[in-house]
Every structure is written in structure tokens, then in C-alpha cells.
Amino acid sequence: MGTEIERASTARFTWRSITLFLLTIGVLALCLLMLRPFLPAIVGAIVLATVTNRSHDWLLEKIKNTTSAASIATFSVTLSIILPCLFLAQVIGQYAMSAANMLQDGTLQRGVSEFLDRYPQLASSLRHSSELFTLSQAAEKVAEFLTTNLVAVLGNSVAALTQTVIMLFFLFFLYSDKRFALQFLDELLPLPRSDTQRIVVRIDETIRATFLGNFVVAAIQGLFAGVVFLVLGVTDAAILGVLVAVTAIIPYLGAYVVWLPIAIYFGMTEHWIKMAILLAVGTLVISALDNFLYPVFVGAQLRQHPISVLLSLLGGIWLFGVSGLILGPVLFSVAETLLKIWNRREGKATLANPGKS
């Protein structure tokens, strides 16, 4: 009789635990869905707070006032990071819009037509090889695609501004309430304090390595591209090098957005050697550097294999968009840490019960 009561009590406890677990998962899933629209702002604030943590700690030590230190740190981040990024985004937008206008008003088409008139054999070969689209049809399609996407990007400028404001707002409270946030996380996670600290430290290491890795690799790409532009005699080579670095960070663009139009221009102005050099260097070196340098650099910092870093980056971008640049590697690092915690616990259980198989 006592055994049956014990079994019934255990069954009720099991079902209650399962119900609580499912409710917890469901509520957490709904919370994540609510936060998903603001994911770029949240991730951006966490990244900025992590990267500038030492500067903020130094400032807090000098000022001795949490609110004042958080306000100054947020204002400094706005001046040194946010505003330059907005300026570069405006420059890239103007560059892309001017390219779309050239396609729409026929300037580029006339230039290509004049170029082909000087080389009848090339024009004849192109006509025979293009049975589906003429040059004007291709230009119209490209112009339509560019203008449609540019209008969508410009239409989302208000949303981007909203994300920026939310990010700075969240960043301020990460600065001012950092100690309370870490304490809240420690109390929230059903883990011992040592395991929670291991996860927090691992997240901090991953964010720093990923953030610095992106910028270091993009800076190398921009520097190399700037040198190539300078050697080839391109005007404003330094500015174009900076644009290469900026576009190299953005997942859906890439460095080719800058160097490919320059190579086309070289071809239209009959600088064939320069065009061939830029096409070869741009394809094999400038646009390919990040595929080799990023996994190696970040993998060395995180003590992970380059393949793991590359897969986490690509999977993060596919699942989360731009936020996946950080979230992908962070999730891989957290998963690795959790598996190590499980392995350590299982190892302790085996040592404590050597007689059990």
C-alpha cells in the first residue's frame, strides 16, 4: 500500500514538473517573439557595453557617480561610433542612389553603347550571345531592382533610427545597472554561481573576439583595397578604402560593391590592364580575405576550430540577419560551455559511484 502511494506521489510530481517545464518554455518563447523586433538594438547595446566596459569602469572610478558615468559613456559612444556609422551609411546610400540614377536616365547605357560602337566585333559577339535580353532591357531590370531595394532601405530609415534610439537607451541602463543585471542573471538561471559566471565570461570573450575580429578583418580588407586603388591611380583611394571596410562588415553587401564598379569603369575607359588587375585582386584577395582571416583570427581568440567559427557565423546570419554576426558565435560558445558543464557533472557522478555502469 505504501509503495502504491509513493508511486502515485512520484507520478503527480513528474507531471507537475513536466507541466511547469512546458509552461516555462512556452512563456519564454512568447517573450523571445516579443523581443525579436528589437533584437538588433538589444544585441548592439550588449556588444557596445561589452567592448567599452573597461572605459566605462575607468570613468566610473574617476566620477564616482553611476548615472553621470553612464550618461557620459553613452554620449561618448554616440559621438565616436554611432554618428560616424550614420555618416558612412549616408555616403554609401548616396553612392548607390547615384548608380541607380545612372541606370534609370540611360547615362550608363549610352556609355556602354558608345563603347561597343568602338568595338564592333565585341558588340556582335554580345548580340549573338544574348538572345533573351537586349542591353536596354538588362539596364531597365537592373535599375528597377536597385530603385526598388533602395526605396525599401530608405523607407526603413525611420525603423533604423528607432532601433538606434532603443539601443542607446538600453546601453545607458547597461552602464548604470550592470551590477544589478549580472545579479539578476545569476538569480534567474537555475545553475550554481560558478557555472553562471563561466557562461557570462564566455559570452564576454566571444563578443569581444567577434566584434574585434570583424573590425580587424574589415580594416585589413579596406587597407589592402586602398593600396590597390592608389597603385591603380584611382582618385579618392583612401575614402574608397574606408567604404570597402564598411561594406565588408555588412553581410548582404560586401567589398565587391565598391571595387566592381571601379573595374567596370576601367573597362569602359579602355584601361584593360587595370581592369584585369582589379578584377583578379578583388575576386581572389579583397573579397576573399574575410573567408580566411575571420575564422582563423576569431577561432584563435575563442580556442575554437575555424570551421566551427565559420559555421556559427553563417548560421547566425541566416537565422538572425545582421544580429547573427554576434549571436551565432555567442550561441555556439554558450552551447559549448553548457556541454562542458554537463560533462563535468557526469564525470563527478561517475567518480562518486564507481560501482555503477
Residue range 295-305, pLDDT digits in tens:
888 888 888 88
Cα 249 to Cα 16, 169, 215, 219, 243: the distances in Å are 48, 24, 7, 9, 10
- What's the whole-number average pLDDT of the chain? 77
Grid coordinates given for 269: 575607359
Q: What is the per-residue pLDDT for 74?
A: 92
pLDDT, average across residues 47-67: 87
Q: What is the per-residue pLDDT for 3?
A: 60
How many helices (H) and strands (E) the chain has is answered by: 17, 0
Query: Are the CB atoms for 217 and 289 separated by under 8 Å?
Result: yes
Residue 75: pLDDT over 60: yes
pLDDT, average across residues 208-234: 89
Q: What is the per-residue pLDDT for 353?
A: 42
- DSSP class of 190: S
Grid coordinates given for 172: 545607458
Q: How far apart are CA 245 and CA 214, in angstroms?
A: 10
Q: What is the per-residue pLDDT for 293?
A: 84
Chain segment 275-291, per-residue pLDDT in tens: 889 989 998 888 888 88
Q: What is the per-residue pLDDT for 132?
A: 39
Q: How many residues does the chain have?
A: 357
Grid coordinates given for 135: 542591353
Name the percent of the chain lying above pLDDT 90: 7
Give the phi and the psi of residue 122 in degrees, each rounded to 5.
-65, -40
* 242 burial level (CB within 10 Å; 0-12, 13-18, 19+): buried
Q: How many CA atoms lie within 13 A of 43 on its CB side?
A: 23
Cα 9 to Cα 4, 5, 23, 204, 273: the distances in Å are 9, 6, 21, 44, 83
| Across 134-148, 149-163, 214-228, least confident range | 134-148
Cα 205 to Cα 57, 105, 154, 180, 307: the distances in Å are 17, 50, 35, 20, 18
Cα 95 to Cα 92, 224, 243, 325: the distances in Å are 5, 21, 10, 25
- Left if phi > 0, otherwise alpha if psi is -120 to 50, otherwise beta: which for 236? left
Other C-beta atoms lying within 10 Å of the C-beta of residue 237: 18
Residue 224: pLDDT over 90: yes
Residue 356: pLDDT over 50: no
